[in-house]
Amino acid sequence: MSDRDLSDHKQPDAPGAPPVGSSDGDLDLCLHTLIAAWSQRTPDAVAVLYDGHGLSYRELNDRADSLAGRLRQQGVGIGSLVGIAMKRSPDMIVGLLAILKAGGAYVPIDPRLPHERLQFLVSDAHLGVVLTNRRGLAAGDALVIDMDQATREMRNDDRSGSCPEGATVENGDLAYVIYTSGSTGQPKGVMVPHRGVVNWLVWMRNTFEVTSADVVLKKAPLTFDVSAWELFLPLISGARLVLADSDRQHDPAYLAALMAETRVSIAQFVPSLMRSFLEQPELPDLSALRHVMCGGEVLSSTLQSLFFKRLTAEVCNSYGPTECSIGVTRWPCRRDDTRHSVPIGYAIDNTELYILGPDLNPVPPGAAGELFIGGICVGRGYLNRPDLTAETFLPNPFNTAGEARMYRTGDRCRFLPDGSIDFLGRIDDQVKVRGVRIELGEVEKHIQAHDAVEAAAATVDDADGEAVLVAYVIPTAGSALTERDLRSFLRRKLPLAMIPSSFYFVEALPLSANGKVDRKRLKLLRPAVHTVMEPRDNLEWRLCAIWRTVLKDPEIGIQDDFFDSGGDSLLAMNLVLRVESAFKIKVTLDQVLDHFTVEEFA
C-alpha cells in the first residue's frame, strides 16, 4: 500500500456494497463476519496502520483466510483454544482474525512472561497451537507457528486468500479466553463468547456514531480485554486501526505524537496512563480526537477536570470486568460537574445491573451493596474451573428467560438518585495497579513459596496518587533472605506488574479479630532506615541522576534496586527513553530488567 493511500484519512465507501454495521441483526453475527463484510465493501481502505505501513481490508482478510486454512489443517476448529504471544504488529491482527475464522478462540499470552507462567498457561488451556513473533518461544507440547515465517510463506503462496470450509462459527462460540489473576495462587481463564463482545461493539458503534472516517488507537495489551474493542471497533466499522508499538505503549510523549500524526479520533485510557498523558507539559495538536473511553479503575474528579482542561474531546467513564465482555456501563463525563466522584453510570444495551445484599435481594435505593451483572454480556465462566464458575456465575432470579445467569462482581456500589451507579470499592482483596487486576492472595502465595519465607502479606500503598504494590515478609528463622533473592525468585514466576515495588522484612504480621492479616495495619510495620550509596564516577553520576528523576526520589543510591524503589514497567520504559536520549544509544527494556541498580546497569 502506498504512502499516498495512507495520507488519505477518509476511508472510501463502495457504492452498492452490502449494508453492514447498521442493524441490530449484527448482534447475531461473529466478530470476523462483521470484519469480513468490509473487505467486500471497501477492500482498498486501510484497515491497519503500523509504523507508517498500511494493510488494506482486502489484504487483512486474504491473509487471515490463508492462515485460518493452515490452522484448520492443524486441527483448529470450533471451540479450539489458540495461544497468541505476539508483539503488536499487523501480523498480530491477521493472527487473531485467522484464529476466529478457523472457529477457535484466542488466548493472549504476554510474550515477556516468565517461562514458568507461560508454561502454566499453555498447559492449563491445553493449547495445541501458539502463534508468536518472538524467536525461541518455548510453549511445551504446543505447535509454535512463527508468524514472521508464516507471513513470508503466505506471500509466496498463490492460493492465499482461499478459506477452506469448516463448521460454521456461531456467536455463542468462544471468541477469547483471557487469563486474570486468581486468589488461589494461579491465574484463571475467563471464557468470553462472540455475542457479548459484539453487543458491546455494536453499542459503541451506535452510541459514538463510529464511521469509516474514524481512526482508533490500539495500545492496551491483548491480555487486557479493552484491547478487544480497541482493535475490533474500527474493523467492524470500516474505520482505521492504528497500532502503537508494544515497547512504547506506556510512553505518553510517543502516544501523543502518534495520535497527532495519525489523527486518532477514538482512544481508550486507564486513569493512571491518562494522568501521565495529560500531565505532559506540551501536547501536540489532538483536534482529531473526539472521544476517549476511560475505565479499568477509578476515574477521579481531579483527573476528569484535568482532561477537560487539556483536551476538547468527550470522555466517558466505563466499567466492566473481564468476565462480562469488556464493558457494562457508561457515564458521559461533564465539563461542569462539580461532584467529588465520577459515577460509573448506566447499563449499556442488553445488560442488567443489580445491587444486592448478602441475601441476594436488592438493597434499598441508595444503599451500598454488591454489584451483579446480567444480560448478553455475561461470559461462559472460568476455563476448567466449574467450582469457581458456580461460585461467581449464579442463576439470575430477576430474569427468568432461559438459563439466565448473573455475574457476582465483588464490587461495592450504590444507585444514585438519577439511576446511575456510584463505585465504592472492592469487598475482597482484588486490587488494581496501573490498570492491572491483581489478587493480593496470588502475590502472597508466590512469595510464600520461597523456602526462606515463613509468611507474607501484600497490599497496595498510595504513592503520589498512584497505587503501588508492597509486601511484608516474615523470613524463616536464621535465613539470610534478601530482597534481591526474593525479587529474582518472583521474576521467574510472575509478570512484572505483580511483583511488589517494595518488600519489608518484619517479625510478625498484624492480625484482625478473626485471625486474618489486618492489611490496614501493615503500614505501621514499616521501618524507615535507608543508606544512600553515592555514585563513584561520571557514568554512575549521569545514570543516577536519571534514576532519581524517573523515580522522583533524590535519595536513590547506586545500589538501590529500581523496582524496590517504586519503579515499575511503566517507569522502566521512561528510564529506557531517558537513557537513550542522554547517551544516544539503543537500550532495551530487558537491559533494565536484568540490571536493576545503577551500579549494575553502568
Give the footprint of ligand AMP on this chain (CB under 6 A). Answer: 180, 225, 295-299, 317-319, 321-322, 344, 409, 411, 423, 426, 432, 437
Residue 212 or residue 317: which is nearer to ligand AMP going by CB?
317
* In the complex, least distance from residue 174 CB atom to ligand AMP, rounded to whole angstroms: 17
For residue 567, give Cα distances in angstroms to 110, 172, 272, 273, 497.
20, 42, 14, 15, 10
Comparing CB distances to ligand AMP, the nearer of 70 and 380 is 380
Give the CA distances from residue 370 to residues 239, 397, 399, 471, in Å, rounded to whole numbers and listed in that order: 38, 15, 18, 28
Which residue do the cell numbers 486518532 mark? Answer: 264
Of 319, 272, 274, the residue nearest 292 (C-alpha): 274
Is the distance from CB of 221 to CB of 199 less than 8 angstroms?
A: no
Q: Which residues of 306-340 are buried (b: 16+ CB within 10 A; e: fewer)?
A: bbbeebebbbbbbbbbbbbbbbbbbbebeeeeeee
Which residue type, as a one-letter code, is found at position 373?
I
Nearer to ligand AMP, 128 or 327 (CB): 327
* Residue 98 beta carbon to ligand AMP: minimum distance, rounded to whole angstroms: 26
Nearer to ligand AMP, 246 or 318 (CB): 318
Would you say 208 or 596 has its CB closer to ligand AMP? 208
- Answer yes or no: are the C-beta atoms of 392 and 424 closer than 8 Å: no
Distance CA 322, CA 422 (A): 19
The nearest distance, CB 432 to ligand AMP, in angstroms, is: 6
Between 95 and 187, CB nearer to ligand AMP: 187
Per DSSP bridges, beta strands 421-426 and 405-415 are antiparallel
Q: Which is nearer to ligand AMP, 261 or 391 (CB)?
A: 391
CB of 433 to ligand AMP, least distance (A): 11
Residue 270 beta carbon to ligand AMP: minimum distance, rounded to whole angstroms: 9
Q: Write the secondary structure of 351-405 as one string of H (helix), E (strand) and C (coil).
A: EEEEEECCCCCECCCCCCEEEEEEECCCCCEECCCHHHHHHHEEECCCCCCCCCE
Decide whether 244 or 344 has the Cβ nearer to ligand AMP.
Answer: 344
Burial class (CB in 10 A: 0-12, 13-18, 19+), 588: exposed
- Shortest distance in whole angstroms from residue 257 CB to ligand AMP: 27
Which residues touch 131 (CB under 8 Å, ≥6 apart)?
82, 83, 84, 85, 86, 95, 99, 145, 147, 150
Decide if 502 contacts 564 (C-beta within 8 A).
Answer: yes
- Rounded to a whole number of angstroms, the minimum distance from the CB of residue 587 to ligand AMP is 30
Nearer to ligand AMP, 297 or 429 (CB): 297
430 vs 501, beta carbon nearer ligand AMP: 430
CB of residue 297 to ligand AMP, shortest distance in Å: 5
CB of 180 or CB of 392, closer to ligand AMP: 180
Rounded Cα gap, residues 450 and 458, in angstroms: 15
Q: How far is CA 579 from CA 281, 462, 592, in A?
A: 20, 27, 10
| Block residue for cell numbers 499470552 | 109
**Rounded to an integer, what distance in angstroms lies between the CA atom of residue 277 and that of residue 26?**
35
Q: For the CB of residue 229, give the shortest distance to ligand AMP in the complex, in Å.
A: 12
Name the minimum Å distance from CB 425 to ligand AMP: 8
Phi-psi domain of 128 (left: phi exceeds 0; alpha: psi -120 through 50; beta: other): alpha
User: Min. distance of Cβ 338 from ligand AMP in angstroms?
Assistant: 19
